[in-house]
Amino acid sequence: MSKLNNATTEILAPAGSAEQLTAAVNNGCDSVYLGVDCFNARMKAPNFTLDNLPHWIDYCHLHSVKVYVAINTSLKNDEFKTAVRLLCQVYKMYADGVILTDPALIEIAAQLPKPFDIVASTQLNVHDGWGARFLKKCGATTVVCARESNADEIAQIADSGINAECFIHGATCVSQSGQCLFSAMVGGNSGNRGLCAQPCRKLYSVNGGAKRYMLSARDLCGLTAAKQLAEIGVHTFKIEGRNRRAEYAGITSAIYKRLVKNNYIPQSDDHTCLAKMYNRAMSTLSYLNGDNSDIIYSETCNHIGVKAGIIDGNGQINSDIELHKGDGVKVFDVAVEVCGGTVLSNGRQGVRAEFSAPVHSGMTVNLTTDKMLCEQILQTKALLKVDAEFVAFPDSNAVLSLYCNGTEINYISDFVVPAAQNSVATSEEVVEQLQKTGNSYYTMRNIVVKIGNVFLAKSQINEMRRQALQMLTDAIIGDYNSQFVNRIDAPTADDLFAKNNSSVVNGKTKSDARNECVKPALAVICYNEDDLRSAQPCADILIYKHSEINYDVLSSAAQFGCFVDLPSFSDNDYIYKLFGQLQMGAVCHNLGQVEVMRALKSPYIAGSGLNIFNDCIARQFSDAATFVYSLELTFDEIDKFENKNGLIFTDGSITLMKTVHCPFKAAFGCSCNNCQAHRKLTYTDEMGNRFRFVRRRDSRCTFELLNGNKLSVAAKLNCAGRYMIDYDPSVVEHYVNLNKGFNDGYTETQPYTRGRLFAKVK
């Protein structure tokens, strides 16, 4: 059944700066999302401060626009209390909601009196009803669907009793949501902490061949997919782009708001306008219906604009569309970007331009900045319509009453109106002065004037108008914020943190968990049955990471009593049925998998895909057999955990990125009917670093990009611990000895990396 309701579909715009925010509001968005200068997944955007944030929240509320503050990075133990304080600060500032990545912070936010929207970030990799139900129990009111979710999975989320929010436009990550360690591992700039260096936008050669942008994802453009999303119950259309220019936020807000109002029928030039503003060759969200073949655009990683024309023999532009002085262009030789340029004259034929590099006849010219469109967007101003009544009679105070969107104020002059002696005020003069709203947020429309035989100076009318409009502004904001009256007596950050901090770990208080003797353990990850057989006698925890998740593989592995490692983007209905038959334990890498295991009452390990960055998250999985500390933490940071019972991954292949799109299709041009996943697939960057792809499959395929060099810290360890390693006979022997108190001096002979175990991520 269709759930289409145009009146409730919300357009959520990016606000990485004040300029972006005002452009979005002025062009029709329903809500904005923004961050301050900490715990924000777009730390490279200008962002806001706690000093100026109240002003901008008031500005948005004046225009009936909601404000969501993003506190959406991974939080270390020594940061968690500060994040709780930030949560409470923006709550007291009357933010409409928060966007959170830390599931423990979601539970804390849920303790604050409503109304207060608690939005679970896309970084939590929730792509179906199982994950949505987990977060609903935590207290989330909205889930930002993982960007790889198909239509059926999004419908499950919408049906779970939680609001479904989907990205409708803008850049997307090639990696599964929240599952990318590429930037963190290769340079220490963590995407999970808002500082992604975008290694996916670089050139890579396939198996040593020509270099292309093999990991660069197309931008999303949901003009044709919006109606389908609304019909399956999506509540909010989210526009990506806090790092982009203000005009981008304005044009996307305007077009998608108009699209919703127009029953999801786009105007003929909508796609072109969006493409002019920014695009990396747009994807139409075909993955909603199971087609992920158009995710990668390997020709370039930057804004390509729209085709305008070609370079003529005189080095000028012959254009199919009107160009204007000040427009920005890019020149391409076939698909290779040559340079940029600025248009110097108006017209179509023989248009002069200044280019940043030599150009030649026949090269393609794309329009990348439409100056007139940008000016139009930035000059648009959303004005509130005001009805007014002005009353003035001799020997009484004048009264100016204003009415706007259900709010009414009555401003009484601070002077008594005198009877006219010579010059008599007219209704026309009063109307003229009241209409001079200047650079305010208002426009006067219906003005009723009731005056007697009085004298009124223009300056007096103008001052009344200024004071009354300020009173109206305060009243509108006050009326909006009246819904938040429960926030006055809300718990403090210290109260919330103390309550959370008193939780138990595996049935023990924190002090007990800290003081008890932690038993060393060795978890061994095996990739085939022979390795399972060899590792079984010496492993405390046995993990099977097979490329296939099916009944035959799991039933043959059941004899080893192992945990089965699941793909992080999984068909959880399939997992539920399969594990319901076999009653095996699993290593879970998404919240939906945890919900499945709990429903089956089956043992599980909280795996690295859950990104356990602090004790508070670890406590959410206190029913797990054990958990894996985030691979982005150092030994020193792990040592500060109260809960010492987790596992540290110390040796083996590092998965840098997990994808749903098929890299074999992108690299070899194959199809599912002609699958090439059996072939070797390596990507090599410009520095000569090699990475390889492997496929995993449950009911469908997903893929993992592995670092070319294995992780190894054996040479730096000299004590027993709780370690997780890939199976290798020599490595297993070394860790067994280490946990027995004997350091055999093992060192790795092949090229290796120490990951982030000794070097903090930013």
Instruction: Give yes or no for residue 483 having a pLDDT over 90.
Output: yes
Helix (H, G, I), strand (E, B) or coil at 677: coil
Asked whether residue 315 falls in the same domain as residue 431, the answer is: no
Q: According to the model, what pLDDT value does residue 115 have? A: 96
Are residues 355 and 439 located together in one domain of the fold?
no
Q: From CA 610, how far away is CA 628, in angstroms rounded?
A: 8
> Which range among 122-126, 507-511, 624-628, 712-716 shows the weakest confidence by mean pLDDT?
507-511
Q: Residues of the chain with pLDDT > 90: what percent?
A: 91
For residue 127, pLDDT beyond 70: yes
Residue 140 lies in a domain: yes
Q: How confident is the model at residue 6 (pLDDT cuts 50, 70, 90)?
A: low
Q: Judge whether 250 lies within some domain.
A: yes
Which amino acid would we find at residue 146?
A: A
Please name which of 546, 543, 547, 544 lies closest in space to residue 696, comparing C-alpha atoms. Answer: 547
Judge contact between 665 and 635, C-beta under 8 A.
no
* 595 lies in the same domain as 508: yes
For strands 508-509 and 504-505, give the pairing.
Answer: antiparallel
Q: E-assigned strands of 669-733?
A: 682-684, 690-697, 701-707, 710-712, 722-726
Task: Give the DSSP letter string of 681-694.
Answer: -EEE-TTS-EEEEE
User: Cα(646)–Cα(663) distance, rounded to whole angstroms?
Assistant: 33
Residues in the chain: 762
> What is the extent of the structural domain holding 17?
10-172+217-270
Same domain, 391 and 333: no
513 pLDDT band (50/70/90 cuts)?
A: very low
CB 227 within 8 A of CB 285: no
Contact 361, 400 (CB under 8 A): no
Q: pLDDT band at residue 568, thresholds of 50, 70 and 90? A: very high
Place of tokens 């990475």: 691
- Tell whether the model's pLDDT for residue 107 goes beyond 60: yes
* Kind and range of the H or E run holding 656: strand 655-659
Residue 311, pLDDT > 90, answer: yes
Mean pLDDT of the chain: 94
Q: Is the pLDDT of residue 503 over 80?
A: no
Structural domain ending residue among the three candidates 427, 449, 484: 484
Question: Does residue 515 carry a pLDDT above 80?
Answer: no
Domain count, the chain: 4
Among 484, 517, 534, the domain-final residue is 484
- 201-236, pLDDT tens digit by residue? 999 999 999 999 999 999 999 999 999 999 999 999
Burial (0-12, 13-18, 19+ Cβ within 10 Å), 205: middle
Q: SS in 3 state form for 516-544? A: CCCCCEEEEEECCHHHHHHHCCCCCEEEE
pLDDT grade for 468, boundaries at 50, 70 and 90: very high
Question: Over the stretch 313-363, which tens digit does the pLDDT of each residue have?
Answer: 999 999 999 999 999 999 999 888 999 999 999 999 999 999 999 999 999
What is the predicted pLDDT for the residue at 159?
Answer: 96
Shared-domain flag, residues 113 and 51: yes
Q: Are residues 468 and 597 in the same domain?
A: no
Classify residue 294: in a domain, yes or no. Answer: no
Whole-number pLDDT of residue 7:
65
Asked whether residue 229 falls in the same domain as residue 325, the answer is no
